[in-house]
Amino acid sequence: MRYCISYQYSIMEELDMQDHLSQAVEKMRAFYDITPDAPIYQKEFGYYVLDRWIEEGYLRPRSEVADYERYLQETFGYDEPATVALLGAGWTEGALYPAFEVKVLEDRGKYELVQDTSGRSVLCFKGRRSGFMPEYVDHPVKDFRTWEERVKWRLNPNTEGRMERQAGEIQAAIAGAEVGKFVVQRSVGGYMYLRSLMGPEDVLYKFYDEPELIHDCMKTWFELTDAVAAYHQRFVSIDELFLGEDICYKSGSLISPDMIKEFLFPYYQQLYTNIKRRNLDKSRKVHFQIDTDGNCLDVIDLYKSIGVDSMSPFEVASDCDVVAVGRQHPDLRISGGIDKRVLAEGKEAIDRHLDSILPAMRRRGGYIPTCDHGVPEEVSFENYMHYRKRLLEYAN
């Protein structure tokens, strides 16, 4: 087996953990402050390739490592986590409690139709329900009746036991804040939430045909997300509101600016206002980040108009150029922007790509380089290690 230690090097130096954390916090503060020419915080968006690297012997199997996130951090030279996440408000779908029962609806030979925790009918490979994009066959909300009977009551913030589930996260956030980490309230964004309820096609019709249903769904989203944040803020101040939105595709936004303003922004603005007002530490600035795949260029100014000051992950295949965005929006914090496809092309292509981005973005500040989505299976371990080595040369 050729684990990374025998692969010639383990990138991360043996630093005292507290010193390393302090350095990471300073890097993250420089990111938030958009400090020109500051050391760049190091992390990754995610992976689809880990199983391949494990099978090839470059990484240890998960069963052999107690803390795999820390193992990857040490292997690839990432910084100590400088943020701590508060959850409880969903991320890629709504925070249903109780969730739907996961069960097999149909056996289709090599595939099975499964009801997931959000009540969707999902076509999966038999025996494998993660690590790939499944086919979403059906969604739980068809109209007001199905919304109220199947879903709405599962989003009640007052359901017994809901808030108590956050106790461990709250303690971690308190401990993190005490050592300087930034506390981030994560939530599913309105568009992604609506899409998870109705499906990517039906939701577009509902904006026209049943606007009252959309508003009722969004009012319920707001009430739950605001209640979750308020509960957390009884114990700790929040540094960032982070919404998983995914409202864009290759050519731009999936709904019009007018629809965004009508169906999403009133709820976002009230949530953001409430979070800022409730913070225990009134001196803390509350940042506002939107995560959306696809081409977000035409909606950056729109989101900035309600206080959004950070966006990610700027997919290169959708014509997002972080250097150009950084010039056009000097007050925007930017994460992502590294073309995941280039990592599969080889070292020279990686060098050209990084050399076209990192010098300008380091001079600018306010940038965290990551792949513009999870590292794909086509990327070799050797290429990724070269990418990490080059990033560290620019970052420090």
208-227 average pLDDT score: 98
In a domain, 223, yes or no: yes
In a domain, 91, yes or no: yes
| Residue range(s) defining the domain that contains residue 9 | 4-95+160-395
| Spatial separation of the C-alpha atoms in residues 208 and 364, rounded to whole Å | 42
pLDDT at 131: 60
In a domain, 112, yes or no: no
CB atoms within 10 A of CB 205: 11
In a domain, 115, yes or no: no
CB atoms within 10 A of CB 365: 19
pLDDT at 18: 80
In a domain, 367, yes or no: yes
327-333 average pLDDT score: 98
In a domain, 137, yes or no: no
Higher pLDDT, 143 or 10: 143
pLDDT tier, 396 (very low <50, low <70, confident <90, very high otherwise)? confident
What's the whole-number average pLDDT of the chain?
94
In a domain, 129, yes or no: no
CB atoms within 10 A of CB 327: 11
pLDDT tier, 126 (very low <50, low <70, confident <90, very high otherwise)? confident
Cα–Cα distance list, 221 to 13, 270, 322 (Å): 44, 12, 31
- Which CATH number do you get for residue 69? 3.20.20.210
pLDDT tier, 5 (very low <50, low <70, confident <90, very high otherwise)? very low
In a domain, 363, yes or no: yes
DSSP 371: B
Structurally, how many domains does the chain consist of? 1
Per-residue pLDDT tens digits for 232-286: 999 999 999 999 999 999 999 999 999 999 999 999 999 999 999 999 999 999 9
HEC profile of 161-173: CCHHHHHHHHHHH
In sequence order, the 6+-apart residues with CB closer than 8 A to the CB of 34 are 330, 331, 333, 364, 365, 366
Strand order in the sheet with 111-115: 103-108, 111-115, 121-125, 135-138
Residue whose token pair is 């606007």: 211
| Spatial separation of the C-alpha atoms in residues 198 and 35, rounded to whole Å | 42
